[in-house]
Structure 1
Amino acid sequence: MSKAQRTAMGDYWAKTIEKEAALRSMWFRKNEARLNENANKLISSRAVPEEVKEKIKKNRIEAFQQIKKFPRIKTEDTVIDFEGNLQDIMRPVNPEITKLIYTGHNKDGRENYLRERVKLIPEKRFYFPECTSWDHGWKQWHRMKDNRTLGFGRQQIIKASFYRRRGVERDPEWYKEPAHINPTFCNMCR
């Protein structure tokens, strides 16, 4: 499309919009009195009588008074022991685990320390949840005893869910090749 055609189409579109706006405003001016009259009728018919309001209010008050009340469930029975400084977030590390940092060559000590440290659940490593994302599973480990822990959270999700362990399999027994239509073969002739 050339530049002249685009300009012509843009002009046509602008004129169409202006024409539609003029028609709308003309229709509104012509029917304004009727619209105002209908709007005022609806407002008066929508008013709720005072006796109906009082009846609804009375029913709601009765409903709230008859609600069955339950005692508040206590979520945490024990108070957290906080023997550290107010600025401490992490509990003290076991000295035996700390010694792992200095044993081994180069990175081996650090890796051994982290491997042992990650085996502890967060409640045993920290006094309280450090960020809001920890609130979801905090104090839930008694339910997760059966799950095995993974070192540093590494998993092969795609391999387990996408690839097949046994390779490419045969087609299922119920699968059949589609019928081939042959001009020399007629199903009706049999």
Structure 2
Amino acid sequence: MKIKESIRSIPGWPIEGVIFRDLTTLMQSPDAFRESCDLLIQRYKDMNIDKIVGIDARGFVFGAVLAYELNIGFVPVRKKGKLPCETIEESYSLEYGEATLEMHLDSVAPGERVVIVDDLIATGGTVGATVKMVKKLGADLVECAFIVELPDLKGRDQIPGCKVFSLCEFEGE
């Protein structure tokens, strides 16, 4: 598996004490990018998923590929003020700040089977906010999928009762 080895670690960015896991190097590697996408496709191809919800911004990269390959809809979750129609919003805290996410009110329907995709789960703020919006709109959340999980930051705790899948972990590093 080339996935973990292809991810660059940047100590002290964006603030001292944080080790940033840079997935741009994974996306630049044809083998690692293909392997990541293929593993997600294989996981979800037989689960009767209706929509992929991708979180701004790198969740768009992996989520759009997955939606395309599964021949299903893709729903972007954006930072506040970036979507043109009526939205639902949810605010959250992350390891170095606060923010608000939005998604269109008509993006998922009650009973639709949804997988949320992002590149990385750290403290769980962004995915926690996204889970709340998906549930408020009545969709059935099948799972949250990530390329990287940082288990020491306990992001899973922000989404109790939600299944979490990740391709690799960086623990205590």
Q: What TM-score do you get using the length of structure 2 for normalisation?
A: 0.20
Structure with the higher helix share, 1 or 2:
1
Which structure's CA Rg is the greater one?
A: 1
Query: Which protein, 1 or 2, shows the higher relative CO under an 8 Å CA cutoff with sep ≥ 6?
Result: 2
Q: What TM-score do you get using the length of structure 1 for normalisation?
A: 0.19
Structure with the higher strand share, 1 or 2:
2
